[in-house]
Structure 1
Amino acid sequence: MDKAIVIENLSKTYKNNRGIQDINLEIDRGDIFGFLGPNGSGKSTTMKVMVGLMKADKGDVRINGYSISQDYEKAMKKVGCIIESVTPFTYLTAYENMKLCGRFYEGVGDMRIDECLDITGLLKFKNEKIKNYSLGMKQRLGIAMAILSNPEILILDEPLNGLDVEAMVEFRKLVLNLSEEHKTTLFISSHLIHDIELTCNKVGILYGGKFSGVDSTQSILKNYSSLENYYLSEVDLNGDS
């Protein structure tokens, strides 16, 4: 089974008529997929439906072959995610937050907690209270929590929001490390085109709730000088439709 995520005819419309329409997408195992689009284009809606935080009007999502609507627990068993923002308990330390999070999973002990904090570069700050953490450190803690159960698939909604340049570079290294060393499949939404270009091997654009389809970053960069130029041409094509 080489498809990690399959989205079929997914639609969700809000009362203001915004939302997503007929999204179809397949993510291969091992891909780093960049879900690109402006704020308000429907990225978070899609991702909330993908992880079962919101019900679709029609269509379905299959993760590792299991339907989100029919077989939720099995679908989510090997998935880690951050949707919208990371909200650790600020009066606790990183270690204490991780310990709390670990109670949701079987067999997560101190060794695994330290390993995840090490992967995300936070091990030396594990006993510091979160209220003293920078925004970038909080984002990294969110990722440490998301990988605690050793997931095969990681779904990250706007993980680069609010990060400074240094933290973005660290994040890119972290994503590539998870993909190469741990064979994790990643689904990352962002409106920061440059970072998607440098991190993801596949890209899909969502604009006004409609999906433009998927292409490999390599193929895009053969035909366009940058991902930004490709993005603008796709938005131009789909903007009025």
Structure 2
Amino acid sequence: MDKAIVIENLSKMYKNNRGIQEINLEINKGEIFGFLGPNGAGKTTTMKVMVGLMKADKGDVKINGFSIINNYEKAMNEVGCIIENVNPFPYLTAYENMQLCGRFKKEVNRIRIDECLEITRIIKYKNEKIKNYSLGMKQRLGIAMAILSNPKIIILDEPFNGLDVEGMVEMRELIICLSQKHKTTFFISSHLIHDIELTCDKVGILYNGKLVGVDSTHNILKNYSSLENYYLSEVDLNADY
């Protein structure tokens, strides 16, 4: 299968000796990959390096075959992402924020904006100012922004945060639907094991900055009663890292 994302020997260390070390990973096109680990494991650092918000000490990331170091614009051309918090302009409406977000993309028009707000189920609130939105509604708006230009790869940092149970179910359904219908590749970080288990085709466990286990969800659930048991087993094996 074609590779959507290839991470090669990626390292980024901070002065406090935390960060990520020697991460190697391949994600196929159309796959939903779950990046699982506790807070502070290095998930966000990895994702920031992947989208060029931070420079790695060592290693490279290739997106659709293009290196983020040597060919950044081409690498990011078909990528939508939310890293850390969604920060739309609070004094603008959802629709106005979407217009701003899509202003550099020719294919983004009124119809496409409405379509994305419909997909994320906030179309009826599109003329409300963001300052009145709940955390979950802002999260949905962030997803709408991430899918606005119809990217082939979507990178989401903790997309289930701030959502109620119904919102989590809808978010899982949305991700699975986009993957199956449009062959969109997803790279999702989370510390919520249950949502990763129900959403992702493949899972990687990041612990103390190191990738300690990568496998398909299918294989994991053949050998373990749940993703949580696999996670605890991998963490236990690598507790002295």
Query: What TM-score do you get using the length of structure 1 for normalisation?
Result: 0.98
Aligned position for 1:151:
151
Runs of 4 or more, structure 1, over 3 Å off, are none
Which blocks of at least 5 consecutive residues in structure 1 are unaligned? none
CA distance in 1, matches of 2:12, 2:130: 36
Cα drift, residue 25 of structure 1: 0.1
Per the alignment, residue 132 of structure 1 pairs with 132
Structure 2 spans left out of the alignment, 5+ residues: none
Could you tell me which residue of structure 1 aligns to residue 7 of structure 2? 7
Q: Give the TM-score taking structure 2 as reference length.
A: 0.98
- Give 1:166 shift: 1.6
Are the counterparts in 2 of residues 11 and 59 from structure 1 also a CA contact under 8 Å? Answer: yes
1:120 is aligned to 120
User: Within 1, Cα distance between the matches of 2:236 and 2:213?
Assistant: 15
Inter-partner Cα distance in structure 2 for 1:239 and 1:80: 34
Q: What percent identity do the matched residue pairs reach? A: 80
Return the offset for 1:107: 2.6
Query: Residues 25 and 213 of structure 1 are in contact (CA less than 8 Å); yes or no, is this contact kept in structure 2?
Result: no
- In the TM superposition, residue 173 of structure 1 has moved relative to its aligned partner by 1.1
Shift of 1:142: 0.2
Counterpart CA distance in 1 for 2:212 and 2:29 is 21
Question: Would you say 1:61 and 2:61 are equivalent positions?
Answer: yes
Aligned equivalents of 2:234 and 2:219: distance in 1? Answer: 15
Please give the root-mean-square deviation of Cα atoms over the aligned residues, in Å. Answer: 0.9
Match of 1:50 in 2: 50
Moved more, 128-137 or 49-58: 128-137
Q: How many residues align?
A: 241
Q: 1:216 corresponds to which residue?
A: 216
Inter-partner Cα distance in structure 1 for 2:234 and 2:6: 23
Say whether the 8 Å CA contact 2:221–2:227 is kept in structure 1. Answer: yes
User: Counterpart of 1:225?
Assistant: 225
State how far apart, in whole Å, the 2-side matches of 1:103 and 1:180 are.
28
C-alpha separation in 2, matches of 1:166 and 1:115: 21
Report what 1:109 is aligned to.
Answer: 109
Specify the code of the residue in structure 2 equivalent to 1:235. Answer: V
| Residue identity in the other structure for 1:161 | N
Q: Secondary structure at the match of 1:239?
A: coil
Matched, 1:23 2:4: no
SS at match of 1:106: coil
Give the partner amino acid of 1:153.
I
For residues 225 and 169 of structure 1, the distance between their equivalents in structure 2, rounded to whole angstroms, comes to: 22
For 1:149 and 1:67, locate their aligned partners in 2 and report how far apart those are by CA, in whole Å. Answer: 21
